[in-house]
Amino acid sequence: MGGRWHRLGVALVAVVYASACAMGVVDESSGGSESSGSGGSGGVSAGGFGGSGGVTGDGGAGAMGGAGGGVSAGGAGGASSSSSSGTGGNPNCGNGVIDPGEQCDGADFAGKTCASIGLGSGDLLCNPFCGIVASGCVPKEACNDFKDNDQDGLLDCADDTCFMDAACLDSCFAPKSLSVPGWFNGDSSGRPNLQAASCSTASGPEVIFEVLIPQSGMFVATVNSWDADFSVSLRTTCSDPASELACNDDPNPDGGKTDKVTLEVVQGQKLYVVVDGTAGSPGSFDLNVDIPPPEFFCSDFWDDDQDGYVDCDDTTQCQETFECEPGAGLLGTPCIVPSDCAANAKDPACLQDWLGFPDGYCTEWCDLAAQDCPGDGHCADLGFGSVHGICLDGCTTDADCRSGYACVDEGYPTKVCRQGPELACTNFQDDDNNELSDCEDPSCQATPACKPGSKAAGQPCTKSNECYAGQNDPICLHQDWFGAPGGYCSEYCHFMDDCAPGSICTSWFFFPSGAGTCMRTCQTDAQCRPGYTCLDSGLNEKFCVAF
């Protein structure tokens, strides 16, 4: 009896539990379940699932997009199987009319649009479960973020939707914040034309940036554009032209000109950078703001602090250093450092080999307008980015210039001493910096040093004129320079068939001009001189090289 009552108690508990599951567990995403009869109805939210069917019942109806519940039929011996014969989702979804529990149905969105829900233009979509999908919406133009949010090809204020936006009516309503150092790419098209710069005769649409100075130093703002002309100015009050502290406009209607303005600043100072289109021209631009380090290198011909004064021409950083103490070297004489050279102030300079002045060239910085160079010197702008020029030694004939230099006409009122032709044709160097060395340079090819000899490619040599060449460009590859024991006769070449029979043009050695050298061809090592091997480098033929 005890066992039978115990089993009956367990059965009653099971029935109560099943009944609770069938009647009480319903939420917005899942249907209920029953042990017999019909399953619980589906939840009301999209994506709900129908309840599980009872032993002989049907699955509950799913919610919007819900899956139908399974059906279980009792079988012999308690075996069961499942099927998907339950009814899935809202049975009315797809009838073109919004029914309870649906967000949309077909083309019916109950009056909702992308714009009405704050997502700009475009079209809403309705998924197969009658739920709204916003992937077809295009974002609304933000008007002051310098982005084409709605992807219609019109940026910010150039977009019709931004016509009356506050930022498009007043450039000082919400100036763009820019950190230092910082870089920004923008466009002034459609922007207000209210703030003019003092250095420009005509004003156009402007863009204004707000910067907070992070440290004391020289603040530099640089604007460049390839399709419009801009000025750049600095002021302390956005809407007050009288607060302008600095301004620069290098006129260039076709764009492509850089405008730069500099100002000594202190930490915590707030500035407004006004990028203003001149002559009414709008367009795209690049803005860079920075506080570069002080002029640290005083002989590198680079304006390190971007203040317009290079090296010893910089009174604030370099002129009190030992590098800028004037020496005795006259204009045009050899030098190594600026202090080798004479100057009427503490602004000497030494033009170096890498600038096209072999063995150095004593000079000093000069005033382009005043032409204050010593003697017959001429003040020239050599493109170093300084507000000043550099002195070049004046001349009448080559005899007025030192060895290695020639009296050349470069369009100045007077001729000047500049690097002359290749004078040394046997030193394996490019003396005139034209990327042509020795007999490769036309200025050497008429000299005895480059008159071809009779020795074929690969033969021993001590001088280039011992070697055969078709165009007065022989070369003896010396061991000291090229690692060729006993010398190796060759000639400069540019094409595979640019060599005499029995040799091939290779780039085994690298010359600044890109020229190759003619190397003796071979099939085996036995066809090469002692100390040389027959190399297969992947060309049409093998050739002899030192090993």
The single residue listed with the structure tokens 């498009």 is 168
**Are residues 220 and 255 located together in one domain of the fold?**
yes
**Are residues 270 and 384 located together in one domain of the fold?**
no
**Residue 532 is which amino acid?**
Y
**Are residues 46 and 118 located together in one domain of the fold?**
yes
* Boundaries of domain holding 415: 311-419
Q: How far apart are CA 208 and CA 323, in angstroms?
A: 41
The 3-state DSSP composition of the chain as helix, strand, coil percent (nearest 5) reads: 15, 25, 60
SS3 of residue 158 by DSSP: helix
**Are residues 193 and 234 located together in one domain of the fold?**
yes
Confidence of residue 340 (pLDDT cuts 50, 70, 90): very high
Q: Domain for residue 5, yes or no?
A: no
Confidence of residue 235 (pLDDT cuts 50, 70, 90): very high
Confidence of residue 445 (pLDDT cuts 50, 70, 90): confident
Beta bridge partner(s), residue 272: 210, 235
**Are residues 122 and 43 located together in one domain of the fold?**
yes
Last residue of a domain, one of 352, 386, 419: 419
pLDDT of residue 29: 35
The number of angstroms, rounded, from the C-alpha of 396 to the middle of its chain's C-alpha atoms is 47
Q: How many domains is the chain built from?
A: 4
Terminal-residue alpha carbon distance, the chain: 109
What are the backbone angles phi and psi of residue 117, rounded to the nearest 5°? -105, 15
Query: Where are the extended beta strands (E) located within 356-422?
Result: 361-366, 378-380, 389-392, 394-395, 405-408, 415-419
Q: Is the whole model's pTM more than 0.85, yes or no? A: no
Q: Domain for residue 62, yes or no?
A: no
Nearest in space to 86 (alpha carbons), one of 116, 53, 46 = 53
**72 contact partners, CB below 8 Å, separation of at least 6:** 52, 53, 54, 55, 80, 81, 82
pLDDT in tens, 452-465: 998 989 999 999 99
**Are residues 48 and 136 located together in one domain of the fold?**
yes
pLDDT in tens, 167-215: 889 999 989 999 999 988 888 888 888 898 999 888 889 999 999 999 9
CA distances from 288 to 171, 222, 262, 273 (A): 19, 5, 12, 11
Confidence of residue 86 (pLDDT cuts 50, 70, 90): very low
Select the highest-mean-pLDDT range: 143-157, 271-285, 388-402, 499-513: 388-402
Beta bridge partner(s), residue 520: 503
The domain that holds 253 is classified in CATH as 2.60.120.380
The single residue listed with the structure tokens 């700009």 is 120
CA distances from 325 to 19, 328, 342, 366, 428 (A): 103, 10, 9, 16, 36
Q: Domain for residue 2, yes or no?
A: no
Considering the chain, what is the average pLDDT of its residues?
A: 80
Give the single-character DSSP code of 60.
P
**423 contact partners, CB below 8 Å, separation of at least 6:** 403, 404, 431, 432
Last residue of a domain, one of 240, 255, 290: 290
Q: Cβ(146)–Cβ(138) under 8 Å?
A: no
pLDDT of residue 131: 93
| DSSP character string of 162-188 | GTT-HHHH-TTSSPEE--SSEEEEEE-
Q: Where are the alpha helices (DSSP H) in 32-156?
A: none
Q: Domain for residue 23, yes or no?
A: no
- Residue 41, pLDDT above cutoff 50: no
CA distances from 37 to 13, 44, 54, 71 (A): 19, 21, 6, 11
- Residue 500, pLDDT above cutoff 90: no
Last residue of a domain, one of 240, 261, 290: 290
**Are residues 171 and 245 located together in one domain of the fold?**
yes
pLDDT of residue 143: 85
pLDDT in tens, 393-410: 999 999 999 988 889 888
